[in-house]
Amino acid sequence: MNPAGPPDCAPALPDGEAERLRALRALGVLDSAAEERFDRITRLARALFDVPIALISLVDAERQWFKSRLGVEATETERAVSFCGHAILESGIFEIPDTLQDPRFAHNPMVTGEPHIRYYAGAPLVVDGGDTVGMLCIQDRRPRLLSPAQRTALRDLADCAQAELQAQRRQLTQSDDLPLHLLDPTERRSGFAAVLERLLALSASAYGFIGEVLHAADGQPNLKTYAITDIAWDAASKAHFAAMAPKGLEFTNLRTLFGAALTSGEPVFSNQPVTDPRRGGLPPGYPALDAFVGIPLHHGGHLVGLVGLANRPGGYAPALLDFLHPLLERIGLWIAASRNAEQLRASQERLANLERVAHIGCWTLDLQSGRLVWSDELYRLFGLEPGVFAATYPAFLELVHPEDRAAVETAYNASLQPGHAGYEIVHRIVRRSDGAIRHIHEQIQHRRNEAGAVIESFGTAQDVTERELAAQALRRAASVYEHANDAIVITDARGQIIDVNAALCRLTGYAREELLGQNPRFWSSGRHDAAFYRKMWLALREHGLWRGEIWNRRKSGEVYPCLLTISPVPDASGRLQGYAGISTDLSTLREQERQVERLSQYDALTGLPNRRLLADRLLIAMGQATQHQHQVAVVYLDLDGFKAFNDQLGHEAGDQLLIALGHGLQSALRPGDTLARLGGDEFVAVLPDLCSALDCLPVLEALLAAAASPSGALPAHDLRL
């Protein structure tokens, strides 16, 4: 792949481009072979940020070349269409949330074509001297945005890559006679103390120091000693020296002789310090300072250290520096090497910390030797001790959950076949330390030889147990939500519907698409006033819950009762995200209640009022009669010969007769009169609102006439009221 883009995609050249290119090429890494120490960083980046592409890109004059790459096959692309060419112009994280929305990249061939980059983020790789030689970058095929914590993690990974690049440079430039113990923090002080003693002897100086040049946040240089002569002159100075010398004494006052050397970067000779205007004050009791030379130490064109020598008989001259030059050059190299070693240790510690925080471990398997190397975090993930457990591929398979072991081995063996770059899988392990079952997400890549055979496998393993358990719980909750008999609606904090389940759609008659974005007042029945809803929201605010009966309206226009429970939905920090409402349809229940109520007051056969309802209506009629000075008539009706009719024609015919009789008698009554069946063939009529007893005679005659032939089509029978 070597895409070429339109001219408007080409990035500008940074200031000091020639010096930047010199710094890049001085690293000696361009066109070098792949190395695990860089690949480990891109693997961690891809796993940590969940992206398909992670690169360590070095921006050359006409190209960007990838020291490490995951997710792309090409080893380089043209600088003119590179994202990193733009990124090195910035001093911090360079992020493009959506390339299609950025005019610099919208028509870039790597956006419009393979690998279809929609997102880019890169942290600059800055070497000594401040030159940005490239980027540690991640790319995705979908828009996204890093959180502040992710930006910090990307910067930390870039610092690790910088340290590895500096380590490469150190390997190319360090002297063969570098004392290795100077790189060990526990032996550095004693090692440089021996070097200082050698310097003092060669220069015939009484005392001196060797220190590293550091820089404060404001850019001002300061000095931290690696070795210094003990010239303490009283109890206080002895105590201070004993406490601080092992950690390194720090000097920040630049209005001194050594300060002049620090700020100028040039040697400072002072053979009459007493009258030298550059001399700072000395505390009372300080040994006499008769002569001084401050010698800046440079390495790779940068000020890395300072040697100070004092009280040489006859003072100091430039010729002494010529004499000491070979040793001074080595000391500068050793300070730079010591600094790089410390930075490398710090970066490796940061990388290990990142692995621990992200629960990501790394591993490498050499298929030729069978040697499997695990990071410390991977041992922790599996509950193992590095010194006790011998990491081998068969031993790893023994740690995989028995039910997942075959799937893991099958996936790995299949990925070894031609055409496979690697694979990823989520499987379970049985943690050795406590027997706990953990879920591990593995991402694996292979390195092949020229013949295409896999010679090395490497990858990351991340503990995703909580994520998997949460996903399982979410799937269970989603199943319950979707298959629940109760209707469920979810709204945002403004009350707009964002989700409903199938039961709610069945209850209301609306499709899901019709409800999304609506407010639940959309199905209001209109039966409740504003006071009802004020009480509802007051209960939600004060108690975090409202539960009650409410009437809603279906899409068909039918109103129905339901039991509704509303509760707020907060986020992890307790802030309101929305509301959840659960409704139970009460229509069937209310109909059943009506039926039960009717059965308790009406005769099941004839549908006429029963004894209970008769008593209620009689009481009402008597009360009204008393109030209005009227009379009430109670008529008792009994059907003679009904038993014989029932015996002769059967109960079904008898029931039909009673129903027909009930209808006939009912039709003979006035509006407001009541006809009740006491049971069997006994009926009672209540005739209210009579001015006199004679007023009931027409009704009685109508009743007798209606009862004269109640059977209709039934066979004739001798029946009398």
Instruction: Please write the tens of the pLDDT for every residue from 158-214.
Output: 998 998 887 755 543 444 454 545 556 667 788 888 889 988 988 889 999 999 999
What is the reported pLDDT for 713?
41
Phi and psi (nearest 5°) for 264?
-90, -25
| Calpha distance 446→438 (Å, rounded) | 25
User: Which residue has tokens 């004839």?
Assistant: 606
Which residues of the chain are in CATH 3.30.450.20 domains?
359-469, 484-590
Q: Are 690 and 630 in contact (CB under 8 A)?
A: yes
What is the pLDDT averaged over residues 318-342? 82
State the fold for domain 7-173: Beta-Lactamase (3.30.450)
Number of C-beta neighbours around residue 40 at 10 A = 21
What is the reported pLDDT for 409?
92
- Maximum alpha-carbon separation in the chain: 159
CATH code that applies to domain 359-469? 3.30.450.20
CATH code that applies to domain 484-590? 3.30.450.20
Quick check: 126 pLDDT over 90?
Answer: yes
| Calpha distance 479→523 (Å, rounded) | 26
Lowest mean pLDDT across 223-232, 337-346, 403-412: 337-346
Please give the residue that has the higher pLDDT: either 99 or 597: 99
What is the reported pLDDT for 718?
52
State the pLDDT confidence band at 338, using cuts at 50, 70 and 90.
confident
What is the reported pLDDT for 1?
39
Residue positions counted in the chain: 721
The pair of three-digit structure tokens given for residue 275, joined into one six-digit string? 């009258």
Q: What percent of the chain has pLDDT over 70?
A: 93
DSSP alpha helix (H) spans, 245-385: 257-264, 318-358, 376-381
Q: Are 488 and 504 in contact (CB under 8 A)?
A: yes
The pair of three-digit structure tokens given for residue 608, joined into one six-digit string? 């006429």
What is the reported pLDDT for 174?
43
| Calpha distance 41→123 (Å, rounded) | 13
What is the pLDDT averaged over residues 135-141? 97
| Calpha distance 209→199 (Å, rounded) | 10
Which residues of the chain are in CATH 3.30.450.40 domains?
7-173, 180-348
State the pLDDT confidence band at 709, using cuts at 50, 70 and 90.
low
Most confident of 60-64, 193-197, 281-285: 60-64
| Calpha distance 211→247 (Å, rounded) | 12
| Calpha distance 191→189 (Å, rounded) | 5
What is the pLDDT averaged over residues 637-644? 80
- Pick the closest to residue 636 from 676, 606, 695, 692 (CA basis): 676
What is the reported pLDDT for 178?
45
CATH class given for the domain over 180-348 = alpha beta
Lowest mean pLDDT across 610-619, 689-698, 704-713: 704-713
What is the reported pLDDT for 2?
40
* The one-letter amino acid at 123: A
| Calpha distance 183→172 (Å, rounded) | 16
| Calpha distance 502→512 (Å, rounded) | 8
Task: Count CA within 13 A, CB hemisphere, residue 331.
Answer: 30
Lowest mean pLDDT across 37-41, 196-200, 535-539, 572-576: 572-576
Q: Which CATH superfamily is domain 602-708 in?
A: Reverse transcriptase/Diguanylate cyclase domain (3.30.70.270)
| Calpha distance 581→566 (Å, rounded) | 4
